[in-house]
A and B are shown apart, each in its own frame.
Chain A
Amino acid sequence: MVPISYYLGLSAALFISGVAGFLLKRNIITIFMSIELMLNAVNLSFVAFAAQLHNLNGQVFVFFVMVVAAAEAAVGLAIIIAVYRTRNTLNVDQVDLLKL
């Protein structure tokens, strides 16, 4: 049996790399993938705890997260395509019109 701390360590590592990519990358698609990475890092810890505590709630929750993530991916990619069509770039530093 792999101790739960291993799973949690992996989950934390994945989450931090997701946060780092989210903050540092300029390409919208990369940022988007970083967000997915963070979601899956959380999913991993859900599953780990579910196995540890013999409670299916965690696993059920993961399915919800995956559904939301799928919907988000559909909407997010559509937005990205629309942004690219109008501005011809995917660099977030150049997409900054939404301000006062």
Chain B
Amino acid sequence: MTANLHLWLIPLLPLLGAAINGVLGKRFSRQLVSAVGLAGSGSAFLYALWVAAQYSAIKAAMPIVETLAPWIQAGSFRADFNFQLDQLSFLMLLIVTGVGFLIHVYSVGYMWDEGGYYRFFAYLNLFLFFMLMLILAGNYLLMFIGWEGVGLASYLLIGFYFTKDSAANAGKKAFIVNRIGDFGFLIALFLLIQHFGTLDYAALATKVSQLGVEAGWGVLSIIGVLLMVGAAGKSAQIPLYVWLPDAMEGPTPVSALIHAATMVTAGVYMVSRSHVIFDRAPQALMVVAVIGCATAFFAATIGICQTDIKKVLAYSTVSQLGYMFLGCGVAAYSAGVFHLMTHAFFKGLLFLAAGSVIHSLGGEQDMRRMGGLRKEIPWTFWTMTAGTFAIAGFPFFAGYYSKDMILWKASQQSMILFGFGLLTAFITSFYMFRLWFMTFFGERAPVEAGHGHDDHGHGTGHAHESGWFMLLPLIVLAVLSVIGGWMVGGGDGFEKFLTPVFGAPAEVAEAAGSLSEGAVSAMATVAFLLGFGLAWFLYVRRKRIPAQIAENLGGLYSAVLNKYWVDEIYAAVIVNPMVAISRSVLWRGVDQKIIDATLDDAAAGANQLSDEVRKMQSGNIRSYAAWVTAGAVVVIGYMMWMGAAR
């Protein structure tokens, strides 16, 4: 048995930071707030590194479960405050604290001039606390606390500029859409308790692994699908993805940390964590794969036409998350988690770099008013280039390894999934290079007079490079985006690392018609080159063509531009009827006519009764005397009558 690692300390460190900044931060100077915020996240990262340094010593003992205290005990059901460290949570721990710390550093530079500086760092640390609870929890119930907590932190941070209506609404939308997903998650937990009587990962794994693979729709399949509903809410998958693009109302570091690198990947983590269940529920796995694949493709097509730099990245995130679910859905959990890790690097980087671009232009987010920034902000340009090549799948960059691995695993399962995945890879490459070319190449459109809707009001004059607090995280993440793939030994090395968690990968016989890994890599590289070439052709060489295409396609173009009207459809089918019913039935009917009316009438009745009764209290002593006498007469009369009757 190895020494106690005191895993519970890891989430506690950022919580302390959040508490100090949240309670006292208002009186602190900005320097002190930054120091506390960085200490909260940095110490968690250092602790994670300390744990990592002992990896070879504790490897054999994994999964390590440390029980801090009993929590709930009801009948035969029991849930503890226990923390579990195995290869999967170990990996997540490093990603979350590492990327989290880098983004904290970046935020010091990015948020320096914003109001509510202490609030921002308190929320950011709070988020880190809940996220660490989520990944270190040793049972589903504790995970659920983290799960809800990151939702709360996300809500607070999306609505950080709460005086802006759109930001406040986006926060609410994220929270409510997540609620729908959480409902599915909760039902899944109830079913787990009902059928297995425990939520503990280890105990559950023992019980579930005694069951065979379900042929049809058994209880495990239903639990799996419900878990996927929860994951779809948190990780922005069809049909619950609508909140993520709106979440870009939050400050850019938030988009990078919560809505790209860590929180939205919680669903992938949860599905991987539940692999024991999914392994025995092929139907549920199929649902996961189809949802992932559809989301990847669907969101990528929307990304083509967006003009807001952060919106492009948001849809790209949705699409990449779809990839991860596609990986999990073909039972290649390590591929999904691999992509989760590389995505945390390059998408975190892309968002931070986009933030740097936005910052350098004084708040401008529209790519049509960018251009030619290559020379003006070289550091941002080069780091963003690394991120763009990584996500697009340039050979030997991080995204290349993980995407290839998912595609290859998908090709063994179904050629349709593979085809859509490959198509998505091409679209990804296209829209990312479109962003890249529009932002950094060509000429900047002159600032039009009378257009001043950007929030900071500097206009788009000369762009200025960001400070070192912002550039350092960019550089670190850029390096990771480049080498993050082969650093861990590519897909195979990664898979080997996670084998203790997911079990050995099934040996696939090279059947006729199935593709070899090399062939998949070649095809993915071709997809990358095609996307790059097309973007170059349309946005550098023949700049007028996109407009012509848009004109010729007409309806299709406006469908994509308007995100297939999904928000409008949701509004018409779900939101508006719900509001109407709430207003006419629940508010005017149930609330006002039944609940309020009952109370009102009871109160009015008591009032009327008292009006009558209070007349007895006239203040006239002789009338009181008469009442006393009358009472005495009645009592005496009663007693005499009773006595006579006896």
Contact = CB atoms under 8 A, between A and B. Distances in A.
Interface string A30-69: 0100000000000000000000000000000000000000
Interface string A89-100: 000110111111
A19 interface: yes
A92 B622 contact: yes
Nearest to A100: B614
Interface residues of B, number: 10
Contacts of B625: 22-23, 31
B619 A98 contact: yes
B619 A96 contact: yes
B622 A97 contact: no
A26 B620 CA distance: 11
B621 interface: yes
Interface string B621-646: 11001100100000000000000000
A67 B629 CA distance: 24
A97 to B, nearest CB: 6
A26 B622 CA distance: 8
B269 to A, nearest CB: 67
B231 to A, nearest CB: 65
Of listed B614, B617, B618, B619, residue having the most chain A CB within 10 A: B619
Contacts of A95: 621
B629 A96 contact: no
Contacts of B626: 23
Contacts of A97: 619
A68 to B, nearest CB: 18
Contacts of B618: 96, 99
Contacts of A26: 622
B620 A100 contact: no
Nearest to B626: A23
Contact of B621 (A19, A92, A100): A92
Contact of A93 (B614, B617, B622): B622
A99 B618 CA distance: 6
B620 A96 contact: yes
B629 A99 contact: no
A13 to B, nearest CB: 16
Contacts of B622: 23, 26, 92-93
Interface in B205-243: none
Contacts of B619: 96-99
A92 B620 contact: yes
Nearest to B628: A22
A93 B629 contact: no
B629 A100 contact: no
A7 to B, nearest CB: 19
Nearest to A35: B625
Contacts of A22: 625, 629
A100 B617 CA distance: 7
Among A23, A31, A97, chain B packs the most CB atoms within 10 A around the CB of: A23
7 contacts: A31-B621, A92-B620, A96-B618, A96-B619, A99-B617, A100-B614, A100-B617
Given A93-B622, A96-B618, A96-B620, 20 more contacts: A22-B625, A22-B629, A23-B622, A23-B626, A23-B629, A26-B622, A31-B621, A92-B620, A92-B621, A92-B622, A93-B620, A95-B621, A96-B619, A96-B621, A97-B619, A99-B617, A99-B618, A99-B619, A100-B614, A100-B617
A92 B625 CA distance: 11
A97 B625 CA distance: 16
Contacts of A23: 622, 625-626, 629
Nearest to A28: B621
Q: Which 9 pairs, one residue from A and one from B, show the smallest C-beta to C-beta distance? A: A99-B619, A96-B619, A92-B621, A96-B620, A98-B619, A99-B617, A100-B614, A22-B625, A23-B625
Interface in A65-100: 92-93, 95-100
Interface in B29-57: none
A23 B622 CA distance: 6
Nearest to B617: A99
Contacts of B620: 92-93, 96
A61 B15 CA distance: 74
Nearest to B618: A99
A19 B622 CA distance: 11
Interface in B148-169: none
B47 to A, nearest CB: 69
A19 B620 CA distance: 17
A88 B591 CA distance: 57
Interface in A1-36: 19, 22-23, 26, 31
Given A26-B622, A93-B622, A19 B629 contact: yes
A43 to B, nearest CB: 18
- Indicate the member of B617, B621, B629 with the most A CB atoms within 10 Å: B621
Contacts of B629: 19, 22-23
A76 B622 CA distance: 16
A90 to B, nearest CB: 11
Interface string B589-631: 0000000000000000000000000100111111001100100
A93 B619 CA distance: 9
A100 B629 CA distance: 22
A98 B623 CA distance: 13
A65 B620 CA distance: 27
A82 to B, nearest CB: 15
Contacts of B617: 99-100
Interface in B133-149: none
A80 B148 CA distance: 72
Nearest to B632: A19
A22 B630 CA distance: 13
Contacts of A99: 617-619
A49 to B, nearest CB: 17
Contacts of A31: 621, 625
Nearest to A98: B619
A19 B617 CA distance: 21
A19 B636 CA distance: 15
Contacts of A98: 619
A97 B621 CA distance: 10
A23 B629 CA distance: 9
A8 to B, nearest CB: 14
Contacts of A19: 629
Nearest to B620: A96
A31 B621 CA distance: 10
A45 B618 CA distance: 35
Contacts of A100: 614, 617
